[in-house]
Amino acid sequence: MLPYEKYPSQILQDAVEAISSLPGVGSRSALRLALHLLRQPSENIHHFASAIDRLADDVRYCRTCRMIADTEECAICADTSRDHSTICVVESVRDVMSIEATGQYRGVYHVLGGIISPISGVGPSDLSIKELVERVRGLAGSGEVILALSGDVEGETTSFYIYRQIEGLGVKVSTLARGLGFGDDLEYADSLTLGRSIIGRQPFKM
């Protein structure tokens, strides 16, 4: 009989189990990472652990747009040079980062914190939709709401739900352009995307 089931140390085992709870990290990778950490100087390990630990209580969410922030108001909402009458509605923090990375957007955001999904038990009241409607009401009939949600059924459902909530408030409501990706080959495009590209064709510009 082996002297231990799997790990020679309970502490190592706890660390491996914690690491392998992360999505996409199996127990072999987790062991490799735990043993890597174990080889680091003590202060590096403490530093690593405390960087993670602070995620638990110290991260705040912007009171206006629900974006991650270190302060009460995120850097985007605090930026007076941005267009505060254009609100881009996204599912998550990551989407804000992706759109910011394009450098093409000068408005502000609203992070829903999820998407309406009856299967996962997420309803409209679990998302920051009420807060969004309040913000849109605050625009007093001018401005624009961009529904930048994913193109799947849940994304479309959420977009539709939000549209219904704000359609009477006088703001322009738009959605992201769908079509072939930049540099995409017609031959390999799926027919749904290609179809949308044809329907949404644009005037040719040189």
Rule CB under 8 A: which residues touch its own copies?
2-4, 7-12, 14-15, 17-19, 21-25, 29, 31-38, 42-43, 45-60, 67-70, 74-76, 78-79, 82, 92-94, 96-97, 100, 103
Cα–Cα distance measured from residue 134 to residue 126, given in angstroms and rounded to the nearest whole number: 16
Give min distance, CB of 169 to its own copies, in A: 27
Give min distance, CB of 113 to its own copies, in A: 9
- In the bound state with its own copies, the residue whose beta carbon lies nearer, of 12 and 194, is 12
Give min distance, CB of 43 to its own copies, in A: 8
- In the bound state with its own copies, the residue whose beta carbon lies nearer, of 55 and 119, is 55
Question: Distance from first CA to last CA of the chain, Å, rounded?
Answer: 76
Q: What is the dihedral of CA 120, 116, 68, 88, to 10 degrees?
A: 160
Give the pair of three-digit tokens for residue 64: 């206006």
Give min distance, CB of 164 to its own copies, in A: 27
Amino acid at 37: L
- In the bound state with its own copies, the residue whose beta carbon lies nearer, of 96 and 162, is 96
- In the bound state with its own copies, the residue whose beta carbon lies nearer, of 77 and 129, is 77
Q: How many residues does the chain have?
A: 206
- In the bound state with its own copies, the residue whose beta carbon lies nearer, of 22 and 153, is 22
- In the bound state with its own copies, the residue whose beta carbon lies nearer, of 98 and 163, is 98
Give min distance, CB of 67 to its own copies, in A: 6
Give min distance, CB of 29 to its own copies, in A: 8
